[in-house]
Amino acid sequence: MKPDDSVLRVYGRWREQYLVAIPGRPSWTLTHVYDAPIPLSAPPGVGDMVQIIALSPAYYRAMYPYLYQHHTYDVYDPQLVGRVLGVRGEPDGGVVFAMEDERRVSTVGLVIIAVPPASDALGPSTESECPRRWLRELLSKERSRGGLETDAILLDDLGSEVTPIRVLRYPDPTNGYPNSWEKHRDRPVWRPWLE
């Protein structure tokens, strides 16, 4: 178990997304699924704080031949931080757990992380670590689709602390730019169905 004030950093590769109907919520919840090929520093437990750091293969940005032969990853922050809601252990040593995104910077509400088997830090979990039935059913459908990459190289320049919340601000198109609608307001509109 980790200290109460620490955050478990999970390096994951985004795999898929879907909508989940969570009991008691009026709308569907966008759920992202990540595979975690990098060994975790500690086993996840219900109530632990987790931050997802997403992995992107380095050969996506640099076409060096040696990058295709090694597990080399760039990292980026998808702004997903929250508490673990449930953990399910696999008989082979793999673990699947879910966390609820507390930052709400994005539209993602729930994150499922699948850790491949053969990780020394993780052991089989018990049924009591997943107290919600709907979550047990959801986690039972997920498994890791890759293997553990103990020799991976991470190009991580995010630091060891929890990354700050990023707020994206898009430029206002009406501020300082001529409005194309006003410029062409008196021009006739072609309506072929009226001819």
Q: pLDDT tens digits, residue range 37-87? A: 998 888 888 999 999 999 988 877 777 766 666 788 888 889 999 999 999
Task: Of 5-19, 139-153, 180-194, give the range with the top mean pLDDT.
Answer: 5-19
**Band of pLDDT at residue 147, cut at 50, 70 and 90:** confident
- Structural domain contains residue 171: no
- Structural domain contains residue 66: yes
Average pLDDT over residues 4-27: 89
- Structural domain contains residue 131: yes
- Structural domain contains residue 170: no
- Structural domain contains residue 185: no
- Structural domain contains residue 67: yes
Structural domain count, the chain: 1
pTM of the model: 0.76
* Residue 100 near residue 47, CB atoms below 8 Å: no
Q: Is the pLDDT of residue 168 over 50?
A: yes
**In the prediction, which pLDDT does 80 show?**
93
Its domain, for residue 27, covers: 8-159
Q: Chain-wide mean pLDDT for the chain?
A: 80
- Structural domain contains residue 175: no
Q: Is the pLDDT of residue 127 over 50?
A: no
Q: Is the pLDDT of residue 20 over 90?
A: yes
**Band of pLDDT at residue 128, cut at 50, 70 and 90:** very low
**In the prediction, which pLDDT does 18 show?**
93
Whole-angstrom Cα distance, residue 1 to residue 4?
9
The percent of residues in the chain predicted with pLDDT above 90, rounded, is: 30
- Structural domain contains residue 164: no
Higher pLDDT: 155 or 98? It is 98
**In the prediction, which pLDDT does 181 show?**
53
